[in-house]
């Protein structure tokens, strides 16, 4: 028991001593890479939630535009039912008096019975329409309330994720300054190297021309340019130049793209990375891509096999 206690104390001292040791350059690089990977996952989840919030806001807008006309319809139908009820009441009293005063006139009795039946049928239809419109209005109100609650919850989640991201960025900045000095990044000549734009037909060349023109710009979380980009922001901004609106989320971009095989890759296609798809790049040809790598780095060209590939996709391009 005494030996075990001594071992535990010795181990604690060793661990404590190791904790205070200055990390090596290689260890700092490893920490930066690991924390950058974690940050990118959180950033892409933030984008997914932001896309969900856009959808919720659009649905809320549609419902809000529907509710006012439904309310007007209810007011109109209530008035119509009231007028029919009053007319029916007057007709009923008139019919009873006529039957008493002129019971021998069968034609008048039949006419009044038919008129009463017509009022009753018309009133019934109006009542049914009023009930249906009222139910649609109540359903729309309940749905709108649920959507507004969902919107508030999504906004709270976005605020929490933004705080998480900003805290992680602060930590990463400190690590990168410690590892690389004031610039916060290692010197890499290739970060600013711009390969020639492949000669292509139509929109594909415009896509690559724009993407390659962004090389050397800083990674900026949630950035869609012009000063900086994150991975899915670069793709969204690039395709917007040819009139294609892609969601600012690598996972959603994968859903929008048509799945292709590696053998089908052509310049302008997309490559998605990691099992949970939290990174995306634009294929240049020759097994190279342009992408916004991670926080603290710049838009650059890298081999597509430098990251774990998930899948390949093609966005249908305009021919104009």
* Residue 266 · residue 204 · CB < 8 Å: yes
pLDDT surpassing 90 at residue 112:
no
Indicate whether 4 belongs to any domain. Answer: no
User: Which of 258, 171, 143, 244 has its CA nearest to residue 202?
Assistant: 244
Q: 243 lies in which domain range?
A: 192-314
Task: Residue 256: give its domain's CATH number.
Answer: 3.90.1720.10
Choice between 146 and 184, residue whose per-residue pLDDT is larger: 146
Q: Is 272 helix (H, G, I), strand (E, B) or coil?
A: strand
What average pLDDT does the structure give for the chain?
80
* pLDDT value of position 249: 96
pLDDT surpassing 70 at residue 14:
no
Both 130 and 243 in one domain: the answer is no
User: Which pLDDT tens digit goes with each residue over 15-49?
Assistant: 344 445 677 878 888 899 899 999 999 999 999 99
Both 67 and 205 in one domain: the answer is no
Find which of 70-74, 131-135, 182-186, 248-252 is predicted with most confidence, using mean pLDDT: 248-252
Both 89 and 146 in one domain: the answer is yes
* pLDDT value of position 137: 76
Query: Can you tell me the distance from the alpha carbon of 186 to that of 193, in angstroms, rounded to the nearest whole number?
Result: 15
Split at pLDDT 50, 70, 90, the class of 191 is: low
Q: How many domains does the chain have?
A: 2
Both 215 and 158 in one domain: the answer is no
Reported pTM? 0.71
Both 176 and 196 in one domain: the answer is no
Answer positive or negative: Cα dihedral of 80, 81, 87, 90.
Answer: negative
User: Which pLDDT tens digit goes with each residue over 119-162?
Assistant: 566 556 666 666 777 777 788 888 888 988 999 999 999 999 99
Task: Residue 32: give its domain's CATH number.
Answer: 1.10.287.2610
Both 168 and 218 in one domain: the answer is no
Query: Can you tell me the distance from the alpha carbon of 20 to that of 15, in angstroms, rounded to the nearest whole number?
Result: 9
Q: Considering only 126-135, 217-226, 279-288, which range has the smallest mean pLDDT?
A: 126-135
Q: Would you call the peptide bond into 102 cis, given omega within 30 degrees of 0 as the criterion?
A: no
């Amino acid at each position: 028991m005494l030996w075990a206690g001594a071992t535990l104390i010795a181990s604690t001292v060793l661990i404590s001593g190791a904790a205070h040791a200055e990390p090596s350059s290689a260890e700092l690089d490893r920490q930066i890479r690991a924390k950058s990977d974690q940050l990118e996952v959180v950033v892409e989840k933030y984008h997914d939630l932001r896309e969900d919030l856009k959808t919720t806001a659009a649905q809320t807008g549609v419902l809000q535009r529907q509710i006012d006309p439904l309310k007007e319809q209810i007011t109109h139908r209530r008035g119509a039912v009231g007028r029919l009820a009053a007319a029916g009441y007057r007709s009923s009293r008139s019919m009873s008096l006529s039957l008493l005063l002129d019971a021998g006139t069968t034609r008048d009795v039949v006419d009044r019975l038919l008129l009463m039946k017509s009022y009753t049928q018309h009133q019934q239809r109006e009542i049914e329409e009023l009930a249906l419109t009222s139910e649609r209005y109540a359903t729309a109100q309940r749905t709108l309330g649920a959507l507004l609650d969902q919107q508030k919850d999504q906004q709270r989640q976005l605020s929490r994720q933004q705080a998480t991201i900003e805290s992680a960025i602060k930590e990463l900045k400190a690590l990168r300054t410690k590892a690389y000095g004031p610039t916060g990044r290692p010197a890499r000549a290739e970060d600013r190297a711009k390969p020639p734009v492949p000669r292509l037909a139509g929109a594909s060349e415009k896509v690559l021309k724009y993407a390659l023109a962004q090389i050397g710009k800083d990674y900026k979380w949630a950035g869609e340019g012009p000063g900086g980009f994150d991975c899915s922001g670069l793709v969204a901004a690039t395709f917007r130049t040819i009139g294609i609106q892609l969601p600012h989320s690598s996972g959603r971009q994968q859903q929008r793209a048509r799945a292709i095989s590696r053998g089908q890759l052509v310049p302008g296609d997309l490559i998605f990375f990691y099992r949970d798809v939290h990174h995306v790049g634009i294929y240049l040809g020759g097994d190279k891509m342009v992408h916004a790598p991670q926080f603290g780095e710049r838009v650059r060209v890298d081999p597509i096999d430098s990251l774990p590939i998930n899948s390949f996709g093609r966005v249908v391009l305009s021919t104009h």
